[in-house]
Amino acid sequence: MRFKMKSYFFKRCLALSLLVAQGAYAVSDKLKTSDVKGMFEEMLNLHVEYKEFTPALARRSIRIFVEQFDPNRIYLLASEVQPYLDMNDDQLMHVVHGFYSNNFTVFTNLNSLIQKSILRARELRSQIVKDLLLTREEISSPQGEIYSSYANSVQELKLRFKKQMLNILAAEKKHTIASDWNAARKQKVFQLWEKRFVRSESTYLSSNTKSNNADHYLALHLMKSQSKSLDAHTSFFSPEEAIEMRASLEKQFEGVGIVLREGIDGILITNVVKGGPAEKSGKISAGDLLVEIDGKAIDSAGYDEVLKRLKGERGSRVVLGVRHKSKVAKSGIDRVELVRERIVMQDDRVKYTSEKCQDGIIGKIVLPSFYESGGSSSCERDMREAIRNLKKEGNLVGVVIDMRDNSGGFLSQAVKMAGLFISSGVVVISKYSKGEMQYLRDVDGRIFYDGPLVVLTSKASASAAEIVAQALQDYGVAVVVGDERTYGKGTIQYQTVTDDNAQNFFKVTVGRYYTVSGRSTQIEGVKADVVVPTSYAPYNIGERYLAYPLKNDQVPSAYNDSLADIDPKNRMWFQKNYIPNVQKKLSIWTQAMSELKKKSSERIAANKSFSEYLHKISSGNDQGYMFGDNADPKVDFQLQEAVNILKDMIDLKNQQ
Which region among 27-36, 188-197, 245-254, 592-601 has the lowest average model confidence (pLDDT)? 245-254
Model pLDDT, residue 12: 33
Q: Give 234's pLDDT tier (boundaries 50, 70, 90).
A: very high
Q: What is the pLDDT of residue 611?
A: 87
* pLDDT on residue 29: 66
pLDDT tens figures, 570-625? 999 999 999 999 999 999 999 999 999 999 999 999 999 998 888 887 776 554 44
Number of neighbours of residue 502 by Cβ within 10 angstroms: 18
Q: What is the mean pLDDT of the chain?
A: 89
What is the structure's pLDDT at 21? 42
Contact 449, 421 (CB under 8 A): yes
SS3 assignment, position 498: coil
* pLDDT of 2 higher than 50: no
Amino acid identity, residue 164? Answer: Q
Of 416, 429, 441, 371, residue with least CA distance to 581: 441
Distance, in Å, from the CA atom of 495 to the CA atom of 408, rounded to the nearest integer, reads 14
* Whether the domain at 252-344 and the domain at 346-655 fall into the same CATH topology: no
628-633 mean pLDDT: 41
Report yes or no: 507 and 233 within 8 Å, Cβ to Cβ. yes
CA–centroid distance for 153 within its chain: 36
The terminus-to-terminus CA distance of the chain in angstroms comes to 44
pLDDT category, 136, cuts 50, 70, 90? confident
**pLDDT 10s digits, 38-51:** 999 999 999 999 99
Contact 652, 592 (CB under 8 A): yes
Flag whether pLDDT at 559 surpasses 90: yes
The third-level CATH classification (topology) of the domain covering 252-344 is Pdz3 Domain (2.30.42)
- What is the amino acid identity at position 291? V
Helix/strand/coil for 396: strand
Tell me what pLDDT residue 16 has: 28
251, 272, 277, 248: which is closest to 346 by C-alpha?
A: 251
Please list, in sequence order, all residues whose beta carbon lies within 8 angstroms of the beta carbon of residue 56, skipping any fewer than 6 positions away.
none
CB 35 within 8 A of CB 218: no
Cβ neighbours of residue 90 under 8 Å, at least 6 residues apart? none
pLDDT tens per residue, range 500-518: 888 899 999 999 999 999 9
* 8: pLDDT strictly greater than 70: no
Backbone angles phi, psi at 91, to 5 degrees: -65, -40
Flag the least confident range among 41-45, 190-194, 539-543, 621-625: 621-625
Q: What are phi and psi of 75, to 5 degrees?
A: -110, -45
**Segment 216-227 mean pLDDT:** 97
Task: Please state, as a whole number, how many other Cβ atoms lie within 10 Å of the Cβ of residue 481.
Answer: 28
Report helix, strand or coil for 121.
helix
pLDDT at 631: 42
**CA dihedral of residues 109, 110, 112, 115 (deg, nearest 10):** 180
To which H or E segment does residue 437 belong? strand 437-442
| The predicted structure's pLDDT at residue 83 | 98
Residue-wise pLDDT for 20-69, tens only, equals 444 444 444 689 999 999 999 999 999 999 999 999 999 999 999 999 99
Going by pLDDT thresholds of 50, 70 and 90, the confidence category of residue 407 is: very high
Instruction: Say which residue, 313 or 521, is predicted with more confidence.
Output: 521
CATH topology of domain 346-655: 2-enoyl-CoA Hydratase; Chain A, domain 1 (3.90.226)
Beta strand pairing call for 341-344 and 235-237: unpaired
Domain borders along the chain are 50-142+149-230, 252-344, 346-655
The better pLDDT of the pair 43, 630 is held by 43
Structure letter (DSSP) for residue 73: S
Q: Cβ(28)–Cβ(319) under 8 Å?
A: no
Q: In sequence order, what E strands does 44-124 have? A: none
Beta strands in 196-251 (DSSP E): 235-237
Q: What is the 3-state secondary structure (H, E, C) of 48-69?
A: CCCCCCCHHHHHHHHHHHHHHH
Average pLDDT rounded to a whole number, residues 534-549:
93
Of 246 and 233, more confident? 233
Q: What is the pLDDT of residues 289-341, one digit of tens each?
A: 999 999 999 888 888 888 888 888 889 999 999 998 865 445 689 999 999 99
Q: Which residue has the higher pLDDT, 498 or 405?
A: 405
**Over the stretch 344-398, which tens digit does the pLDDT of each residue have?**
776 679 999 999 999 999 999 999 999 988 767 899 999 999 999 999 999 999 9
pLDDT band at 207 (very low <50, low <70, confident <90, very high): low
Q: What is the pLDDT, as a whole number, of residue 330?
A: 55
For residue 615, the model assigns a pLDDT of 84
Cα dihedral sign, 428-348-406-227:
negative
In the DSSP assignment, the letter for residue 552 is: P
Condensed to tens digits (0 to 9), the pLDDT of residues 390-400 reads 999 999 999 99
